[in-house]
């Protein structure tokens, strides 16, 4: 045995000892709490690292950008960032890491909450390069994927069951949102509302622990100041409710444009089969847009700060519009164009090979929408505070795009300390959500999976079915018969079986039919037929069959379509494997439901 093999053997023995020691000395419930605490710490560190990397890169680059006129460096920076991120993903990661939230939903729905280990770090590097150099996307989806991957892989390392893995994925997501925004409530609500992790006391406590731990770590390293410095100068008034309803409808319609526009732009990039073509087209489109509209650079949080503090004129700095800053209406034209082209910039960033999410873009578009609606109303003589409407607009657009009104409400309140404006946030978010669901039943995150029939987390019956496989419910205790057996030989076999179904299998093990006792009772006692009738004469074909690798969702679909109560299971070569019955599935379903709801 070589030295390397000895070291590997020692490592394996140590690992197995650690797992056994944990099982003997720490209860499952206490260990889950401990794991949620660790997940919160590690996820917060990842969030802090990502945030600082982005700020460091942006600080280095934007020191060379002029304020008084358009900078041609904007034609270079974004394209370079996408190129670096794309090369990193292609040659280092060698896997698709885009659409982070969608990937988490897919992992929960289709991969039993298992997320690849490289997702614990790959999205941090790729998104830092993308956003730091100007990519018009957000860092939240990448860090949520990172946090969920940390939770999933920690759970797998300690050999946790699927139920716990799903909870650890949720803890990672909650810790990520809490850590990057200093928003613990929003982190928990996001996990419950978007990832659809069931809210029981057993699941809620670990989520809270991860979120609070991540926020505490973030406070320690980044300070306790709110992400956006905002002070409400005009408290909520009942007279503004009609105008908030209008804002909610507008936010819902803007979110519809955002959602469908993003899908349309992504489809255009998807049709480009050559990755270098995507890189060139996306890089050029993004760079040109940022050159003319510098507010599209990066996450856009600077733009939000200017609007919340009522300094929209500062948005013109570093653009062609700066020399026309005294022209009436130029700021509003600039803001309108920014909303119009934001989806193009975001889609170009991701389509070209960059890595980022739509979390920040939805906040960005929402703030501008609220600000513009406020000024339109002010133009018609309605005395309303524009900054409050910008705040409500953030909640409205994000709630509608994500189909998550509670997340929008609590996140905006926490990142701005605008707790005294809960009513405007609630009204706008709910109306915006109700507006978009008329047109789009799924969020931008989930619609990709829903179109493929792969979205299960938002359907509780399907979620339980994912815990089952065909092999969990298959019955193999039936007496198999041959098609060339005589009726006499068949009658002799009947006492050996406890079931009234007899699968018929040929010499190669291939399933050819079945005999149901209830269907042949009229000939069982006619002894003159015993040597004249063969099994192949009175066997019947089932209405359908299942493959051993079929999902339980597909199996139930076949049962519903055929109205059958028992169906045979075969392998890819048609060989008989066993039978599945509805009653067995229902029994197993109930056992899992009780197990997952016992708290």
d(CA 424, CA 24): 52
Domain count, the chain: 3
For the sheet with 566-570, list strands across it.
546-547, 566-570, 576-581
Boundary residue ending a domain (424, 456, 488): 456
pLDDT in tens, 30-40: 899 999 999 99
pLDDT for residue 458 is more than 60? no
Domain assignment present for residue 256? The answer is: yes
- Domain stops at, among 426, 456, 486: 456
Residue 191 shares a structural domain with residue 242:
no
**Residue 3 located in a structural domain:** no
10 pLDDT band, cuts 50/70/90, is: low
Total residue length of the chain: 599
pTM: 0.77
Please tell me whether residues 303 and 184 are part of one structural domain.
no
User: For the residues of 533-584, what is the DSSP string, one character each?
Assistant: -BHHHH-B--S--EETT-BHHHHHHHHHHHT-SEEEEE-TT-BEEEEEEHHH
For residue 459, pLDDT over 50 is answered with no
| CATH code where residue 589 lies | 3.10.580.10
Positive or negative, the CA dihedral 50, 56, 61, 64 is positive
Is 514 found in the same domain as 414?
no
In tens, the pLDDT along 562-578 reads 888 889 999 988 899 99
> Do residues 249 and 101 share a domain?
no
3-state DSSP assignment of residue 273: coil
Least confident of 19-23, 66-70, 570-574: 66-70
Helices and strands (DSSP H and E) totals, the chain: 25, 5
* pLDDT score of 200: 62
Query: In Å, how far from its chain's centre is CA 317?
Result: 36
Contact between 9 and 16 under an 8 Å Cβ cutoff? The reply is no
| pLDDT average, residue stretch 129-146 | 92
What DSSP assignment string belongs to 509-532?
-BEEEEEEGGGSHHHHT-GGGTTT
Q: Which two tokens stand for residue 306?
A: 């200017």
- Residue that finishes a domain, picked among 432, 456, 480: 456
Q: Say yes or no to pLDDT of 224 above 80.
A: no
User: What CATH number does the domain containing 43 carry?
Assistant: 1.10.3080.10
Tell me which H or E stretch contains 456: none
Query: Does 506 lie in the same domain as 421?
Result: no
293-309 pLDDT tens trace? 999 998 989 899 989 88
CA angle 75, 79, 82 (to 5 degrees): 155
Taking residues 217-229, what's their average pLDDT?
A: 81
Nearest to 169 by CA among 155, 192, 148: 148
pLDDT confidence tier of residue 275, bands split at 50, 70 and 90: confident
Q: Are 391 and 203 in contact (CB under 8 A)?
A: no
In angstroms, rounded to a whole number, what is the distance separating the alpha carbons of residues 481 and 483?
Answer: 7
**Which pLDDT score, from 0 to 100, does residue 35 have?**
94
Q: Which of 409, 442, 450, 435 is nearest to 189 (CA)?
A: 409
Neighbours of 92 (CB within 10 A): 12
Q: Specify if 355 maps to a domain.
A: yes
Per the domain annotation, does 4 fall within a domain? Answer: no
Check whether residue 452 and residue 500 sit in a common domain.
no
Whether residue 244 is found in the same domain as residue 388 = yes
Residue 188's domain comprises 11-222
Q: Are residue 507 and residue 436 in the same domain, yes or no? A: no
């Amino acid at each position: 045995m070589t030295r390397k093999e000895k070291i590997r053997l020692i490592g394996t023995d140590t690992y197995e000892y650690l797992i056994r020691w944990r099982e003997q000395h720490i209860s499952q419930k206490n260990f889950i709490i401990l794991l949620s605490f660790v997940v919160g710490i590690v996820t917060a560190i990842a969030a802090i690292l990502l945030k600082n990397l982005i700020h460091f890169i942006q600080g280095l680059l934007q020191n060379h950008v002029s304020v008084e006129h358009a900078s041609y460096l904007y034609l270079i920076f974004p394209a370079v960032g996408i190129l670096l991120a794309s090369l990193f993903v292609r040659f280092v990661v060698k896997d698709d890491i885009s659409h982070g939230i969608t990937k988490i939903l897919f992992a929960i729905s289709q991969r039993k909450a298992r997320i690849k280990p490289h997702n614990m770090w790959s999205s941090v590097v790729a998104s830092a390069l993308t956003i730091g150099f100007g990519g018009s996307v957000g860092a939240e989806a990448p860090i949520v994927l990172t946090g969920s991957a940390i939770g999933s892989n920690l759970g797998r390392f300690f050999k946790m069951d699927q139920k716990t893995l799903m909870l650890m994925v949720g803890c990672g997501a909650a810790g990520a949102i809490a850590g990057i925004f200093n928003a613990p409530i929003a982190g928990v609500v996001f996990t419950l509302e978007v990832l659809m992790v069931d809210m029981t006391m057993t699941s809620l406590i670990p989520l809270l622990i991860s979120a609070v731990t991540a926020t505490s770590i973030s406070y320690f390293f980044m300070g306790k100041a709110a992400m956006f410095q905002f002070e409400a100068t005009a408290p909520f008034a009942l007279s503004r409710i009609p105008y908030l309803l209008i804002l909610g409808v507008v936010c819902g319609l803007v979110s519809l444009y955002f959602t469908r526009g993003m899908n349309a732009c992504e489809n255009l990039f998807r049709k480009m089969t050559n990755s270098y073509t995507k890189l060139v087209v996306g890089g050029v489109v993004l760079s040109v847009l940022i050159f003319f509209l510098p507010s599209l650079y990066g996450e856009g949080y600077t733009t939000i700060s200017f609007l919340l503090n009522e300094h929209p004129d500062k948005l013109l700095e570093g653009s062609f519009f700066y020399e026309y800053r005294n022209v009436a209406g130029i700021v509003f034209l600039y803001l309108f164009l920014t909303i119009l082209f934001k989806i193009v910039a975001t889609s170009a960033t991701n389509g070209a090979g960059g890595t980022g999410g739509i979390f920040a873009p939805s906040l960005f578009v929402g703030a501008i929408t609220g600000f513009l609606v406020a000024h339109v109303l002010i133009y018609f003589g309605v005395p309303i505070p524009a900054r409050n409407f910008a705040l409500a607009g953030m909640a409205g657009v994000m709630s509608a795009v994500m189909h998550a009104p509670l997340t929008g409400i609590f996140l905006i309140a926490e990142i701005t300390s605008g707790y005294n404006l809960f009513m405007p946030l609630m009204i706008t978010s709910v109306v915006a959500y109700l507006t978009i669901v008329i047109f789009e039943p799924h969020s931008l995150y989930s619609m990709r999976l829903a179109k493929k029939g792969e979205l299960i987390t938002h359907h509780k019956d399907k979620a339980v079915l994912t815990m089952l496989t065909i092999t969990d419910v298959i019955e193999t205790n039936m007496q198999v018969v041959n098609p060339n057996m005589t009726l006499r030989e068949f009658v002799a076999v009947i006492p050996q079986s406890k079931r009234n179904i007899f699968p018929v299998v040929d010499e190669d093990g291939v399933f050819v039919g079945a005999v149901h006792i209830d269907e042949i009772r009229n000939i069982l006692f006619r002894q003159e037929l015993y040597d004249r009738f063969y099994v192949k004469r009175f066997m019947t074909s089932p209405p359908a069959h299942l493959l051993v690798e079929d999902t339980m969702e597909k199996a139930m679909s076949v049962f519903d379509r055929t109205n059958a109560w028992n169906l045979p299971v075969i392998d890819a070569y048609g060989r008989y494997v066993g039978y599945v019955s509805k009653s067995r599935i229902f029994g197993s379903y109930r056992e899992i439901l009780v197990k997952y709801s016992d708290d």
